[in-house]
Amino acid sequence: MASNTAPATYKQPSRKGKKAWRKNVDITEVQSGLDELRTDIIQGGPVSEKPADELFLTDVAGDVELEKTQRKQKKLRVDEILAQRDSKVEALQPGRKRKVEDHSGSGVGGKRVKGNGEYVSHRELRRLRNVADGAGIGVLAEEQASNDLWGAPDAAPPEEYSFLEKKKDKVAPKSLKQAPKPLTANGKAVAAVLKPNAGKSYNPLLNDWSALLEKEGQAAVDAEKARLAAEAEQAERERKAEEEAAKVEALEKEEYATDYESAWESEWDGIQSEAEQEIYTQKQKGRKTPAERNKAKAKKEREAREKWEKKQKERDVQEKRIKEIAKQVSANDKEKKLAKRDVDISSESDEDEASQLAKRRFGKLSVPEAPVEVTLPEDLNDSLRRLKPEGSLLTDRYRNLLINGKLEVRKKVGQAKKPQRQRTEKWTYKDFKLK
């Protein structure tokens, strides 16, 4: 059965044979397009030729559900303020465009001319070049505005409140410009990042780890002993107070057989017999005679002169042995420097200085104690893969800021309690009335 379609020639490696003739060209795409056009005409016409009103429908009312989902954007506060105020700067007026001047020498005879055809002299050209170079010739300096264009004017208080004091501006305290005072015992600032002890490593040496473990263990034992001693002292104090109270109560019961003071005794407390009253009178000093005044004045001058002579003798003796005193002072200074250097060398690390804090506080609370970062024997791992990260650089840095006095120690604020609300639902369909 012969087909009406032309033979398909998808590949033409050569154009010299009969397969390259026009009758053998593939026209399947053209025929399929014509078939689709015929079907569109049968169904009512091609879509490309139809007007837009027949293809689309204009929604005039809009979607109500879509409006509910879309929230209106809240207007910014800055836009509200700018909308309320009127700008104090006048709007720019549209000016006329100026013609471009020709300075390339395109005039008659190669002369420099302006846009209107006038000649530009060398003097004027030199002045324009100086202005362009920033020489400031012929340029007026703009005056700086003395008022705030966008600032709202201060509202004057009414006359009835004119006696009130004006609000004062906030002034920074003097201590804000001063350097912070460290809370360490020696008064030195601690480094921002302390050099850790070798025993705190994940894989420490045996000597370093054992020394650190022994040190921290001894500190924990001392702290526990101090706590127990304080508790025992408090218990002993309470016991003595109870014993004294019991003794006083027993004496009162023995003497008066009551726990309160009798009425007749309280009445006679303030009364004193005439025999018990004693009057002491002091003899009034008489006025000194001129001889007594001169005698006291001479005595005062003599004592002052003797005191001055004694100081002068000591000064003469010291002047004679100035060299010995200078040698002694220099020797004392050398001893102090050596002692200070020995103390600096003996300090193991910066952590020891940070742990020794002074008694003074910066704020109402004391500096929190540093966590104990010692690994116990059973927690030491022989493999680095099984290690877990410990400690926090953020907390260490925050504690160093507290020690250096740059931040005030404050209480940690927890999450605020939210009000508990109960949600109920009314079942109106259960309400009924009897007729």
pLDDT of the residue at 303: 94
Banded pLDDT at 35 (limits 50, 70, 90): very high
Q: CA 226, CA 220: separation in Å to the nearest integer? A: 10
Banded pLDDT at 1 (limits 50, 70, 90): very low
pLDDT of the residue at 224: 93
Report the pLDDT averaged over residues 1-10. Answer: 52
Check pLDDT > 60 for residue 319.
yes
Report the pLDDT averaged over residues 362-388. Answer: 81
* Those residues with Cβ within 8 angstroms of residue 252's Cβ, 6 or more apart along the chain or in another chain: 258, 259
Report the pLDDT averaged over residues 285-290. Answer: 82
Check pLDDT > 80 for residue 306.
yes
pLDDT of the residue at 38: 92
Check pLDDT > 90 for residue 101.
no
**Residues 308-320, buried b or exposed e (16+ Cβ, 10 A)?**
eeeeeeeeeeeee
Report the pLDDT averaged over residues 188-217. Answer: 85
Name the token pair of 418. Answer: 């939210």
Check pLDDT > 50 for residue 259.
no
Burial class (CB in 10 A: 0-12, 13-18, 19+), 399: buried
Banded pLDDT at 433 (limits 50, 70, 90): low
Check pLDDT > 70 for residue 7.
no
Torsions phi, psi for 318 (to 5 deg): -70, -35
Tens-digit pLDDT profile for residues 385-423: 887 777 788 888 898 888 888 888 888 887 888 888 888
Q: CA 184, CA 188: separation in Å to the nearest integer? A: 6
Check pLDDT > 60 for residue 143.
no
Q: CA 396, CA 196: separation in Å to the nearest integer? A: 11
Tell me the residue type at 276: E
Check pLDDT > 80 for residue 34.
yes
| Residue 39 C-beta-side C-alpha neighbours within 13 Å | 6
pTM over 0.75: no
Cβ atoms < 10 Å from Cβ of 388: 7
Banded pLDDT at 227 (limits 50, 70, 90): very high
pLDDT of the residue at 197: 82
Name the token pair of 156. Answer: 């004057």
When comparing pLDDT for 111 and 15, which is higher? 15
Q: Give yes or no for a contact between 149 and 88, defined as CB atoms under 8 angstroms apart.
A: yes
Name the token pair of 25. Answer: 């060209």
pLDDT of the residue at 152: 60
Report the pLDDT averaged over residues 109-119. Answer: 58
For every residue of the chain, which 3-state class applies, written as one string? CCCCCCCCCCCCCCCCCHHHCHHHCCCHHHHHHHHHHHHHHHCCCCHHHCCHHHHCCCCCCCCHHHHHHCCCCCCCHHHHHHHHCCCCCCCCCCCCCCCCCECCCCCHHHCCECCCCCECCHHHHHHHHHHHHCCCCCCCCCCCCCCCCCCCCCCCCCHHHCCCCCCCCCCCCHHHHCCCCCCECCCCCCCCCCCCCHHHCCCCCHHHHHHHHHHHHHHHHHHHHHHHHHHHHHHHHHHHHHHHHHHHHHHHHHHHCCCCCCHHHHHCCCCCCCCCCCCCCCCCCCCCCHHHHHHHHHHHHHHHHHHHHHHHHHHHHHHHCHHHHHHHHHHHHHHHHHHHHHHHHHCCCHHHHHHCECCCCCCCCCCCCCCCCCCCHHHCCCCHHHCCCCCCHHHHHHHHHHHCCCCCCCCCCCCCCCCCCCCCCCCHHHCCCCC
Check pLDDT > 60 for residue 368.
yes
Banded pLDDT at 115 (limits 50, 70, 90): low
pLDDT of the residue at 347: 44
When comparing pLDDT for 349 and 320, which is higher? 320
pLDDT of the residue at 431: 65
When comparing pLDDT for 62 and 212, which is higher? 212
Report the pLDDT averaged over residues 193-209. Answer: 83
Q: CA 12, CA 111: separation in Å to the nearest integer? A: 73
Q: Is 45 left (phi over 0), alpha (psi -120 to 50) or beta?
A: left
Report the pLDDT averaged over residues 27-56. Answer: 88
Name the token pair of 320. Answer: 């004679």
Q: Give yes or no for a contact between 134 and 128, defined as CB atoms under 8 angstroms apart.
A: no
When comparing pLDDT for 363 and 427, which is higher? 363
pLDDT of the residue at 237: 93
Q: What is the mean pLDDT of the chain?
A: 76
Check pLDDT > 80 for residue 221.
yes
pLDDT of the residue at 228: 94
